Amino acid sequence: MAVDIRSERETGAVPRAAPWRDPRVRSIVYQIVTLVLFLLFVAFIVNNTITNLERQGIASGFRFLGVTAGFDIGFSLIEYSAVSTYGRAFWVGLLNTLLVSALGVVLATVLGLVIGLARLSSNWLVARLSTVYIEIIRNIPLLLQLLFWYFAVLSALPHPRDSIAVLDTFFLNNRGLSIPRAEFGEGAAAVPGAILIAAIGIVALVRWARRRHETTGQPFPTVLVSLGLLIGLPLLAFLAGGAPVAFEYPEMGRFRLQGGLTLVPEFVALLLGLSIYTAAFIAEIVRAGILAVSHGQVEAAYALGLKRGQMLRLVVIPQALRVIIPPLTSQYLNLTKNSSLAVAIGYPDLVSIVAGTTLNQTGQAVEAIALTMAVYLTLSLLISIFMNWYNRHMALVER
């Protein structure tokens, strides 16, 4: 042993371990073995799939997207009929998924925020009620809730003739929810432009206000002015165009409602179920986020002479948001993924159109499932990229 060390010092050479004891060599060997096994596994699966597809005489490739689909879809945002192609059907499904997810995210956030704040309320009854809501909703499977809303609640509503009417404008029956349809005239085209101008104006205003605040210490009511811009400009443009909007109200015909915009019960049930379920999780996230801001921060803010509104806006909410946003992101992702349960109640979303009907009609399982998965993968990536960007924007800048 001693001799070894001396000789090492004299010659300067490190004695090499046997190759099978060298961690680096072993790591490379392990990785090669893993890679080879993985590739063999993939080759095995691909080979089997090709053989099976040939035996069953199923075509492969995405040519089927150009073929006439031949089935009807009950709810579509774009023109679609039975003579449209599978590719068109795919877009219908994708848009339906996006529509219900986007609306669900908004509703769930609002509801979750209210319930999360209610759980922190000093009012005992309000706090208890929101706890009960959260504990009941969180612990019942979403699919069960969707089936409940669809089959037990919406199907049990009266026939269109005896619709439940609210203010003679909204009609609820077992065929869905009828709401007035807004029809915009020509002058309304200026409104989106006005919104764009308002948005640019707000960005400039915020920058200017921040610079002035930093140099002179003068605060500027940014939020109020921004809101005013955002609402006022489009309103002005709208009025200048002669208020070119007409509402088409649903009206009671002899047997059914006529006119207006009818939201099918599948859509209403899915939206209700998703929002109510996700809101329970968001409420817990909001509560945890607000509790995470230490009380000393509030006291320090008051000690500095901030008003209650300023304290919330400048001290509590920015710190709470930092805790809230990452789990909130994953709830939004969950909601989007959960919208695929639409297939159980017959809302024509992406999964039920592509992985359901299209798969059954064409038999091209690999392509249909891959297409569906690719869409969800892209959606997840987009949402998480956006949220990571926002999170970085909000993150604590430590000196």
Partner 1 sequence: MADVHAETRTPRTTGEHFPEEPLAPPTERIGPLRWLKENLFNSPFNAALTLVCLWLLWQIIPPIVEWAILDATWEGNSREACAAAEGACWTFIKVRFHQFLYGFYPLDQRWRVNLAFAILVVGAIPLFMARFRHKVALGAALLFVYPIVAFYLFHGGAFGLPVVRTALWGGLFLTLVIAGVGIVASLPIGVFLALGRRSEMPVVRMLCIGFIELVRAVPLITVLFMASVMLPLFLPPGVNFDKLLRALVGVALFSSAYMAEVVRGGLQAIPKGQYEAAQALGLGYWKMMGLIVLPQALKIVIPGIVNTFIGLFKDTTLVLIIGLFDLLGIVQAALTDAAWLGFALEGYVFAAFGFWIFCFGMSRYSMRLERRLGAGQRR
Segment interacting with partner 1, rule: CB under 8 A, options 66-74, 75-83, 158-166, 359-367: 359-367
Nearer to partner 1, 91 or 148 (CB): 148
Alpha-carbon torsion 208, 210, 215, 218, what sign? Answer: positive
Q: Interface with partner 1 includes 39 (CB under 8 A)?
A: no
State the Cα–Cα distance between residues 321 and 324, nearest whole angstrom: 5
Least distance in angstroms from the C-beta of 215 to partner 1:
39
377 binds partner 1 (CB under 8 A): yes
Residue 27 binds to partner 1 (criterion: CB under 8 A): yes
- What residues contact residue 364 under an 8 Å CB cut-off, 6+ apart? 58, 59, 60, 64, 358
Sites for partner 1 among residues 328-347 (CB under 8 A): 337-338, 340-341, 343-344
Q: Does 34 bind partner 1 (CB under 8 A)?
A: yes
Tell me: does residue 81 bind partner 1 (CB under 8 A): no
CB 31, min distance to partner 1, A: 4
How many CB atoms are closer than 10 A to CB 350? Answer: 26
* Total of residues contacting partner 1 (CB under 8 A): 54
Write the binding mask 151 to 190 for partner 1: x where contact by CB under 8 A, - elsewhere: xx--xx----------------------------------
User: Residue 224 Cβ, how far from partner 1 at the closest point, in Å?
Assistant: 22
Phi-psi group of 230: left, alpha or beta (phi > 0 → left; psi -120 to 50 → alpha; rest → beta):
alpha
Q: Which is nearer to partner 1, 118 or 237 (CB)?
A: 118
Stretch that binds partner 1, among 143-151, 184-192, 258-266, 312-320 (CB under 8 A): 143-151
Smallest gap from Cβ 141 to partner 1, in A, equals 4
Question: C-alpha angle with apex 163: 159 to 169, nearest 5 degrees?
Answer: 150
Closest approach, Cβ 24 to partner 1, in A, equals 10
| Nearer CB in complex with partner 1: 42/304 | 42
* Least spacing, CB of residue 15 vs partner 1, in Å: 18
Closest to partner 1 by CB, 142 or 237? 142
Under the binding rule (CB under 8 A), the answer on residue 392 touching partner 1 is no
Could you tell me which residues are beta bridge partners of residue 261?
179
Beta carbons within 8 Å of 127's beta carbon, 6+ residues apart? 118, 119, 120, 121
Name the H helices within the chain: 2-11, 23-56, 86-119, 124-138, 142-147, 190-216, 222-240, 265-291, 295-303, 308-310, 317-338, 342-345, 350, 359-362, 365-394
Candidate residues 312, 380, 391, 394; the one interacting with partner 1 per rule CB under 8 A: 380
Q: What is the C-alpha separation between 168 and 259, in angstroms, rounded?
A: 13
Select the residue interacting with partner 1 from 89, 194, 351, 353 (CB under 8 A): 351
Q: Which of 272, 284, 294, 295 is nearest to 142 (CA)?
A: 272
Q: Is 51 in the site for partner 1 (CB under 8 A)?
A: yes
Query: CA-to-CA distance for 279 and 269, rounded, in angstroms?
Result: 15
Closest CA to 355 of 112, 148, 94: 94
Residue 111 CB partners (closer than 8 Å, separation 6+)? 275, 276, 279, 282, 283
Regarding 141 and contact with partner 1 (CB under 8 A), the answer is yes
Hey, how many other C-beta atoms are within 10 angstroms of the C-beta on 351? 23
Q: Does 71 bind partner 1 (CB under 8 A)?
A: no
272 binds partner 1 (CB under 8 A): no
Residue window 276-315: x/- pattern of binding to partner 1, with contact defined by CB under 8 A: ----------------------------------------
At 7, list the tokens: 């000789």
Write down the residue that tokens 């101008």 correspond to.
197
Contacts of residue 302, Cβ cutoff 8 Å, sequence gap at least 6 = 311
Residue with tokens 């003579």: 83
369 touches partner 1 (CB under 8 A): yes
Residue type, 111: L
Residue 136 within binding range of partner 1, rule CB under 8 A: yes
- Alpha-carbon distance 259 to 250, whole Å? 5
- Nearest approach in angstroms of CB 260 to partner 1 is 28
Tokens of 23: 């961690």
The residue ranges that bind partner 1 (CB under 8 A) are 27, 30-31, 34-35, 38, 45, 48-49, 51-53, 55, 121-126, 129, 135-136, 138-145, 147-148, 151-152, 155-156, 337-338, 340-341, 343-344, 351, 355, 359, 365-366, 369, 372-373, 376-377, 380-381
